[in-house]
Chain A
Amino acid sequence: MLDTDFFRRWMTAAAASVDREADHLTDLDSAIGDADHGSNLQRGFAAVKAVLEKDAPATPGALLALAGRQLISTVGGASGPLYGTLLRRTGKALGDEAEVTQEQFAQAFAAGVAAVGQLGGAQAGDKTMLDALLPAAEALALSFDGAADAARAGAEATVPMRARKGRASYLGERSIGHQDPGATSAALLVDALAETADGEGA
């Protein structure tokens, strides 16, 4: 079973990972975006960590909803509302259970990913975070490590894609050959999840 503390540790691990990889994310974003993805996510996840240290949501659902709201209000770029929606919808789908099964979480996460697609109007293959999130959501019901591998492979698969959403889409053909920063950070988020699960021998 996954309790509230599991999700708190996931967010802390995600914040550490984003911190570690911020320069890399910004470098990827300089190639096809506006060079702020790393610093934006750093600011957002630092704020998530801070609010979770101050408040103590009682359930996994409440914790993820709070984290999502915090991302929307602090990131400042498109990744804020997108990741914010991912966490908030996942949290809402979990309801107010004190603990959830991995299967419940996998279903809720899939609902969160679907909400991201709806908000941004993107689909698989558009060279966005969905290219990492969709395969991760599919693999999550079976294994956390499998989800992390699927997300990483999904992010790497964005290299030859042509961007169809966001600022990168203005580059047309020139967006080909670069790994998508959003898919890369999405893979980090899922990797932090697997790390958290491994930490407790799940």
Chain B
Amino acid sequence: MSGERQVGIVLVSHSGPVAESVAELARGLAAGGVTAPVAPAGGLPNGGLGTSAELIGRAAASVDRGAGVAVLVDLGSAVLTVKSMLAEGDELPENTRLVDAPFVEGAVAAVVTASAGGDLAAVEAAASEAYGYRKT
């Protein structure tokens, strides 16, 4: 794994503070050294709850280093908005992928893996595997 070009991570939540906090948490737990680029895209541009294609597009562009972008979402319109943006073809950077993962645990796994230089497939796998982490 070469750490030259890191996979970018976008965190899409209905809430701005949730997306920002999860980004901060994931960066913090990835710890030490340089972490992969992470951008929150939470809520509406006016601060309300919802999903904004504009904020998602901007966040994805800001973390794109040419190694692909993994997008993690919370629910409902966040899922549907990213899917429809991917279907459009030109609204997200090339090699952007919607990752099927739990939002918080998946974000941590994705950022840790991307920071270690994992490629997009590795980041996606790590984030999805977070579904298997049982708590009882």
Nearest Cβ on chain A to B50's Cβ, whole angstroms: 4
Q: Which residue of B lies closest to A65 (CB)?
A: B88
**Which of chain B's residues has its CB closest to A69's CB?**
B88
Measured CA separation A173–B80 after assembly (Å) = 25
Asked if residues B54 and A81 are in contact (CB atoms below 8 Å), the reply is no
Q: Assess whether A76 is in contact with B77, with CB atoms less than 8 Å apart.
A: yes
Whether B52 lies near A76 (C-beta < 8 A) is yes
Could you tell me the dominant secondary structure of chain A's interface residues? helix
A interface residues, how many (CB within 8 angstroms)? 20
Q: Contact string, B34-60, partner A, CB cutoff 8 A, digits 1/0? A: 000000000010001111111000000
Interface size on B, residues (CB 8 A): 17
Chain B residues positioned under 8 Å from A73 (CB to CB): 52-54
The verdict on B87 contacting chain A, using a C-beta distance below 8 Å, is yes
What is the 8 Å Cβ interface bit string for chain A, positions 73-105, against chain B (1 contact, 0 not)? 100111111101100100000000000000000
Report yes or no: B88 in contact with A78, Cβ–Cβ below 8 A.
no
Contacts of A80 in B (CB 8 A): 51, 53, 77, 80-81
Are B50 and A72 neighbours in the complex by a CB distance under 8 Å?
no
Interface of chain A residues 115 through 145 with chain B (CB within 8 A): 119-120
List, in ascending order, chain B residues with CB within 8 A of A119's CB. 80, 83-84, 87
Whether the pair A77, B50 counts as a contact (CB closer than 8 A) is: yes
Chain A interface residues (CB < 8 Å from chain B): 34, 36, 40, 69, 72-73, 76-82, 84-85, 88, 119-120, 166-167
Can you offer 18 A-B residue contacts whose CB atoms are under 8 A?
Answer: A34-B49, A40-B50, A72-B84, A72-B85, A72-B88, A73-B53, A76-B48, A76-B52, A79-B77, A81-B77, A81-B80, A81-B81, A81-B84, A84-B84, A85-B84, A85-B87, A119-B87, A166-B76
